[in-house]
Chain A
Amino acid sequence: MSSIELRNLSKSFGDVPAVRGIDLAITDGEFIVLVGPSGCGKTTTLRMIAGLESVSGGAIAFDGEEVNRLPPKGRDIAMVFQSYALYPHMTVFANMAFGLRLSGVDRAQIGERVRAAAELLNISELLRRRPRELSGGQRQRVAMGRAIVRQPRAFLFDEPLSNLDANLRAQMRVEIKRLHSQLRTTVVYVTHDQVEAMTLADRIVVMRDGVIVQSGPPEEVYRQPVDRFVAGFIGAPKMNFLPARLAAENGALSLRIGEGEAEIRLPASDALAGRLGEDVEIGLRPEHLSMRTPGEDTEPGRSFPFPVEVVEPLGAETLVFTTVAGAEVVARCDPELHPRPGDRLTAVVDTAHLHLIDPESGRVLER
């Protein structure tokens, strides 16, 4: 177990920068998820921590000790790969034992540790099989077993679930979380799937174009995104973005959506006083719009018409889609409402959770 620190870490491939000076302190036993779109530098960062990629600038330290020049085997880390990377000619047992064998652990202990890990992962009956005789989920477990037996300072996961089907992925997520709560080993986990990031992480680190955009507990990143990118990336279905203009009205703030299609009032705010008359973008999560049928009470200044265009029933909830001021808007809705395309509903906005975004910089504005 170990703390990991990245100091101004950067990496370029030729002239192409992949990681541009990131700082991150991972505490002992923490579950960190690096998340971002492809090409954001998350995998490169992970491979640098593993020692599989050289460092172009900055430093990586384990427990305060710089490891920049240490090869992977000197770093005492274990890694789970996207393709699982099991040795195809070896049995499951040999796969899990390989690292221990190379580091000179004696046979009896190898057997003990492999069996213990296999039991933990429920793969004891697979130990004599070859990887090709296993299903995707079983291979995934073996890959994790190979990491666990090493009893490393840290686990590094590189998109370990992306080759599994949706059901299995959900199941393995729970399993990984349970393993972490049992083993309490530091984990750095890379994924492009924001659901994995939200469900697994103690702390999410959102990356884009080689820099860290935001890092924090999942709740915080979800509720208080720092910019439009994070707001749009975290959460499914995605946050809605609506163009609006900020104005003052009777001592309160008013947001005029599009060409006056709707108006939303907010309490006055000193922080926004300087932006009156300017264009802003409204960010609203689908759960912060509640649907009202015609005839129900709607509060003026907090709602806009919502002519339903598409309906996606998901069982526990139903998603309804419409277009407001040229932007697609999605809302979560009570399935008991039985919305149908063509229904003229009204969306009531939960203004406490409404984000205002600077359309130029993309930053979320203080309110």
Chain B
Amino acid sequence: MAAVLPDQVLAVPVRRRALSTQPRRLPESTWGYLLILPAVLLVLGLILYPVVYSGWLSFHNKHAYLPIETFIGFSNFANMFGDGEFWRSIELGAIYGIGSVGLQIVVGVSAALLLNETFIGRTFIRGVALFPYMVPTVVVVILMKWILNDAYGVLPYILKTIGIGEDILWLDTTHVMLTVILISTWTFFPFVVIGTLARLQTIDPELYAAAKVDGAGVVRRFIHVTLPQLRNVLFVVILLRFMFMFTKFDVIWLLNGSSGVGYYTRTLPIYTYIKTFGQLQVGAGAAMSMFMFLMLVCFAMVYFRVFRRDEDI
């Protein structure tokens, strides 16, 4: 009995080791593919499939609810290009995109420059500055509707008290685009702050010292030291922000919905939504979203070609 025991004890670990090496016989590359498979399936199912389906839809006359569709070739696109409202939505989208991105850059970079300075409570203020980005859009818009309301809003009241701009009706047809741009700027400028501030903190302080010794004042230091260093980050931020803003749906829709005033902020994504789910012309809506997709791809390509001359710094 005592002589058998050591053999048994020995046998167990040997067998266990043999078992544990078995799965490793799969080549490492196969393991790699297996491990990324879930992610690939998610991407295929949630991104590629809708895009392809949307492309397929854009060539069909498809009922919104019933499984009835007719292939109609490029008719959806022909109709779209002949539709004045479609061109108007692109124009409004461009105004909204350029306006709000421009303001976000100005406000965001200025804020980042301020937050890069040393002052008491800087960490706290930095946190607060990111706050608008964290607030859900729906909350922002509901609050803004209250603040801007011409009957009981606090902003018109304040403006009236100090005696400037008291006649502005923020939510009427003439001002509603400006209002949407301002609200979007407030909500999304922290994105610019984060990117810019991160870059500002990595600029070598000796560059500023060198510029001071070279005789550069505040403005020239900004132009010749800060801006060139921010170039690459601003390149990416502007690209992303413009794409995000051009396709922005929630802020505009939540503020105006399909109301009459909404006609004055009916950008391409809004018009696409109305076409698809309001007028139930799914094929026409799909054609518009395909167009928006291709347009942004072209925009990005041109943008890269024009502004990304060198990879320096």
Which chain A residues have a beta carbon within 8 Å of chain B's beta carbons? 47, 50-52, 71-73, 77-79, 81-83, 85-90, 98-99, 102-103, 130, 132, 146
Contact = CB atoms under 8 A, between A and B. Distances in A.
A78 B220 CA distance: 18
Contact of A89 (B210, B214, B215, B312): B312
Nearest to B216: A102
6 contacts: A51-B212, A73-B215, A77-B213, A87-B225, A87-B228, A146-B210
Nearest to B209: A52
B204 interface: yes
Given A50-B209, A73-B213, A98-B214, 20 more contacts: A47-B209, A51-B212, A51-B213, A71-B212, A73-B214, A73-B217, A78-B213, A81-B210, A82-B206, A83-B206, A85-B204, A85-B206, A85-B207, A85-B210, A89-B312, A98-B211, A98-B216, A102-B214, A103-B215, A132-B312
Given A87-B224, A88-B228, A132-B312, A52 B213 contact: yes
A356 to B, nearest CB: 44
Contacts of A52: 209, 212-213
B139 interface: no
Contacts of B224: 87, 90, 98
B126 interface: no
A130 B228 CA distance: 13
Nearest to A158: B206
Nearest to A75: B213
B3 interface: no
A40 to B, nearest CB: 20
A81 B206 CA distance: 7
Contacts of A88: 228-229, 312-313
B212, B213, B224 interface centre (most CB from chain A within 10 Å): B213
Interface of B: 204, 206-207, 209-217, 220, 224-225, 228-229, 231, 312-313
The 8 closest A-B pairs by CB, nearest first: A73-B215, A99-B214, A85-B210, A89-B228, A85-B206, A102-B215, A81-B206, A72-B212
Contact of B209 (A71, A85, A89, A146): A85
B220 A50 contact: no
A72 B225 contact: no
A161 to B, nearest CB: 15
A73 B212 contact: yes
A77 B211 CA distance: 12
A47 B209 CA distance: 9
Nearest to B217: A73
B313 A89 contact: yes
Contacts of A89: 228, 231, 312-313
Nearest to B204: A83
Contacts of B312: 88-89, 130, 132
Contacts of A71: 212
A72 B220 CA distance: 14
Contacts of A82: 206
B227 to A, nearest CB: 9
